[in-house]
C-alpha cells in the first residue's frame, strides 16, 4: 500500500507543479487567458484533494475508540 502512495505522489506532485507554473505564467502574461488559469487551478486543487485524502487524520485513534 505504501508503494501505491509513493507512485501516486511521483505522478501527482509534478502535475501540480506544472499546473501552478502555468497559472503563474498566465497571471503575469500580457494577454491573460482565464480558461487556462481556471483549469490549472482546478488541476492543482484536485491534486491537493488526492494527496490529502491519503493522509491519516490526527483524531483517527480517538474516532476508533468512540465507535
Count CB atoms within 10 A of the CB of residue 36. 14
Which tens digit of pLDDT belongs to each residue from 8-67?
778 888 899 999 999 888 888 888 888 989 999 999 999 888 888 777 777 766 655 665
Give the number of C-alpha atoms closer than 13 A to the C-alpha of residue 50, restricted to the C-beta side: 18
Please tell me the predicted confidence (pLDDT) of residue 26.
86
φ, ψ at 58 (rounded to 5°) = -65, -35
Q: Kindly report whether the global pTM for this prediction surpasses the value 0.85.
A: no
Answer whether residue 7 shows pLDDT above 70.
Answer: yes
Please tell me the predicted confidence (pLDDT) of residue 45.
92
Please tell me the predicted confidence (pLDDT) of residue 56.
72
Amino acid at each position: 500500500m505504501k508503494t501505491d502512495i509513493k507512485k501516486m505522489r511521483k505522478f501527482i506532485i509534478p502535475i501540480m507543479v506544472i499546473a501552478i507554473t502555468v497559472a503563474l505564467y498566465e497571471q503575469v502574461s500580457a494577454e491573460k487567458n482565464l480558461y487556462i488559469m481556471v483549469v490549472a487551478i482546478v488541476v492543482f486543487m484536485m491534486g491537493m484533494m488526492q494527496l490529502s485524502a491519503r493522509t491519516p487524520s490526527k483524531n483517527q485513534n480517538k474516532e476508533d475508540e468512540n465507535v
